[in-house]
Structure 1
Amino acid sequence: MSKRKGLSFEEKRSRMMEIFFETKDVFQLKDLEKIAPKEKGITSISVKEVLQSLVDDTLVDTDRIGTSNYFWAFPSKALHVRKQKLEKLESQLIERTERKQSLHQRIEKAEMGRQNTEDRAALSKELEGLRQERNRLKAEVEKYKECDPEVVEEIRQLNRIAKDAANRWTDNVFTIKSWAKKKFGFEQKQIDKTFGIPEDFDYID
């Protein structure tokens, strides 16, 4: 019986995003370290590294409330990030294609009645490098074809769900603040300062 192959890093990233998109919820690291292995097959020891890579790529948002860090990702944000990257790649592809055409013209001109020169050899080498870069960019662009405008309507519905989830968490924060004020006699400003809650913290309209 063959040994089961582990998930690649990109597969782990993709499955981690599925957790956020499917639940439309906000998590702490400890929550994800419990959920990811059970539901997505991501080892708990790699959860932190995978999560940090998604935060670094701005696919997952994070904020600190009190002494805890919270993480969330909404489909609308992910779609926007992918579209931006797709536009950048397409722009690079156009630039490389124009550069390639320019080099072709220069090589053809250089070949007219001339022997091989160092300049022509350098141009040929640069052209080959641009061909490889163009192929790489084409493959990269294909990865982002999923950002089709047809998903916009679905994203709008997901935005509503995400807003409701955010407001539920906001309601929880207000409930905890009210409890702390009654239980310990803390002033609201003291609670906000202690737990890093901004003055304009409120529900999303």
Structure 2
Amino acid sequence: MASGKRKGLSFDDKKTRLLELFNETCDFYTLKELEKIAPKLKGIITQSVKDVLQSLVDDDLVNSDKCGVQTIYWCLPSEAVAKRQRRLDALQQQLAEKRQKLTALQRQLVQVQAGREDSVERTAVLERLAACEAAWRERQRTLESYLECDPDVLAQRETETKTLIEQANRWTDNLYVIRSYVQRNLGVDLDLFDQQFELKPALQYLE
């Protein structure tokens, strides 16, 4: 019976195997050298070596440095252990800080919830509060409907209306000046000019 097709390595498996290669040989490599030996020694296909290697560098598990035009990669076992220990210490510190924050939040939650337990008295108070808020909103709507008759509001609108009328009449003056100019200097017939630019309604002064 034919054996099934062998399953390929996962990305994490490739990282583990490539890191093993560094630790076992304690040597320095270029990318091309790794692409040549990794398939033979660790079963990592050549096309994957570059991405796997970069991932190890990004995780600070493998060192890299420029040497002329080439980049050299290495990882010494003792250095790898030290890096893992520093990483572990950092994670443990973060965990301790998160636990402290969680404990503080839990205490705050208990304090906030104190006095909010369900009871007949609390339910009655909440109902009265809801009724007061509804009444307040209704008063606000009533007040807003009366603003149309507020003397200050009416005075402000009257002033704004007067200003707008003055501005409109100023534009009407400007139109008369333009009509006079084109008639006197260009000999344009005013009726034709007014018709062309639809000026008849615009030549009325507002009061």
TM-score, normalization by structure 1: 0.52
Which residues of 2 match residues 162-201 of structure 1 at below 5 A?
none
Deviations 1:85-111 (A, max 9, x none): 111111111111111111221222222
- Counterpart selection for 1:11 from 10, 13, 19: 13
Structure 1 spans left out of the alignment, 5+ residues: 117-205
Aligned to 1:112: 114
Deviations 1:37-64 (A, max 9, x none): 1121111101011111212222222233
The percent identity for this pair of structures is 47
Aligned to 1:201: none
- Counterpart selection for 2:92 from 90, 93, 100: 90
Relative contact order (alpha carbons < 8 A, sep ≥ 6): 1 or 2 greater?
A: 1
Residue type at the aligned position of 1:87 = D
Residue type at the aligned position of 2:108 = R
Deviations 1:101-159 (A, max 9, x none): 1122122222223169xxxxxxxxxxxxxxxxxxxxxxxxxxxxxxxxxxxxxxxxxxx
* C-alpha RMSD over aligned residues: 1.9
- Counterpart selection for 1:59 from 58, 61, 70: 61
Aligned to 1:179: none
Deviations 1:147-200 (A, max 9, x none): xxxxxxxxxxxxxxxxxxxxxxxxxxxxxxxxxxxxxxxxxxxxxxxxxxxxxx
- Counterpart selection for 1:99 from 88, 98, 101: 101
Q: Larger Cα Rg: Structure 1 or Structure 2?
A: 2
Aligned residues: 116
Are residues 41 and 111 of structure 1, via their aligned partners in 2, closer, same or farther at CA, if it must alter by over 3 Å? same
Aligned to 1:27: 29
Are residues 3 and 112 of structure 1, via their aligned partners in 2, closer, same or farther at CA, if it must alter by over 3 Å? farther
Secondary structure of 2:72's counterpart equals: strand
Aligned to 1:41: 43
Structure 2 spans left out of the alignment, 5+ residues: 119-207
Are residues 109 and 63 of structure 1, via their aligned partners in 2, closer, same or farther at CA, if it must alter by over 3 Å? closer
Residue type at the aligned position of 2:60 = T
Are residues 100 and 66 of structure 1, via their aligned partners in 2, closer, same or farther at CA, if it must alter by over 3 Å? closer
Residue type at the aligned position of 2:18 = M
Are residues 98 and 20 of structure 1, via their aligned partners in 2, closer, same or farther at CA, if it must alter by over 3 Å? same
Deviations 1:73-92 (A, max 9, x none): 10122112111111111111
